[in-house]
Amino acid sequence: MIRWVVAIFIVLTIFAGLLPWLEKIGMGRLPGDFRFKILGRIFLLPFGSTIFLSALAFLLAYLFR
Protein backbone atom coordinates (compact mmCIF):
# COMPACT_ATOMS: atom_id res chain seq x y z
CA MET A 1 0.00 0.00 0.00
CA ILE A 2 2.77 2.45 0.89
CA ARG A 3 4.47 1.75 -2.46
CA TRP A 4 1.38 2.99 -4.31
CA VAL A 5 1.25 6.15 -2.24
CA VAL A 6 4.92 6.83 -2.92
CA ALA A 7 4.51 6.06 -6.63
CA ILE A 8 1.51 8.39 -6.94
CA PHE A 9 3.38 11.13 -5.06
CA ILE A 10 6.38 10.80 -7.39
CA VAL A 11 4.23 10.85 -10.53
CA LEU A 12 2.27 13.89 -9.35
CA THR A 13 5.53 15.67 -8.48
CA ILE A 14 6.90 14.96 -11.96
CA PHE A 15 3.59 16.05 -13.49
CA ALA A 16 3.70 19.32 -11.55
CA GLY A 17 7.23 19.99 -12.79
CA LEU A 18 6.27 19.31 -16.40
CA LEU A 19 3.00 21.23 -16.16
CA PRO A 20 4.18 24.47 -17.86
CA TRP A 21 5.28 22.45 -20.90
CA LEU A 22 2.22 20.19 -20.82
CA GLU A 23 -0.17 23.16 -20.65
CA LYS A 24 1.05 24.20 -24.09
CA ILE A 25 -0.41 20.98 -25.52
CA GLY A 26 -3.64 21.16 -23.50
CA MET A 27 -2.86 19.02 -20.45
CA GLY A 28 -3.95 20.43 -17.11
CA ARG A 29 -7.04 21.97 -18.66
CA LEU A 30 -9.06 18.80 -19.20
CA PRO A 31 -12.46 18.28 -17.59
CA GLY A 32 -11.78 17.02 -14.07
CA ASP A 33 -8.70 19.18 -13.51
CA PHE A 34 -9.35 21.53 -10.62
CA ARG A 35 -7.54 24.84 -10.23
CA PHE A 36 -7.77 26.85 -7.00
CA LYS A 37 -6.41 30.29 -6.22
CA ILE A 38 -5.77 30.67 -2.50
CA LEU A 39 -3.86 33.62 -1.04
CA GLY A 40 -2.59 34.59 -4.48
CA ARG A 41 -1.17 31.15 -5.19
CA ILE A 42 -2.58 28.75 -7.78
CA PHE A 43 -3.04 25.11 -6.81
CA LEU A 44 -3.80 22.46 -9.42
CA LEU A 45 -5.34 19.04 -8.84
CA PRO A 46 -4.95 17.32 -12.22
CA PHE A 47 -7.39 14.42 -11.81
CA GLY A 48 -8.57 14.38 -15.44
CA SER A 49 -5.08 14.67 -16.87
CA THR A 50 -3.79 11.96 -14.54
CA ILE A 51 -6.51 9.55 -15.66
CA PHE A 52 -5.81 10.37 -19.31
CA LEU A 53 -2.06 9.85 -18.94
CA SER A 54 -2.61 6.60 -17.01
CA ALA A 55 -4.88 5.27 -19.75
CA LEU A 56 -2.32 6.28 -22.38
CA ALA A 57 0.49 4.53 -20.47
CA PHE A 58 -1.67 1.41 -20.07
CA LEU A 59 -2.46 1.38 -23.80
CA LEU A 60 1.21 1.76 -24.74
CA ALA A 61 2.23 -1.00 -22.33
CA TYR A 62 -0.47 -3.26 -23.75
CA LEU A 63 0.58 -2.59 -27.35
CA PHE A 64 4.30 -3.16 -26.73
CA ARG A 65 3.80 -6.25 -24.58
For the chain, domain boundaries:
2-63
What is the tens place of the pLDDT at every residue in 12-40? 788 778 878 877 887 778 888 888 899 99
Mean pLDDT, all residues of the chain = 85
For residue 49, which of 17, 21, 26 has the smallest C-alpha distance?
Answer: 26
State the Cα–Cα distance between residues 55 and 24, nearest whole angstrom: 20
Q: Give me the pLDDT at residue 64, please.
A: 92
Question: What pLDDT is stored for residue 29 in this prediction?
Answer: 82
pTM recorded for the entire structure: 0.63
Q: What is the pLDDT of residue 60?
A: 92
Give the pLDDT of residue 39: 93
Please, what is the Cα angle at 52 between 49 and 57, to 5 degrees?
125
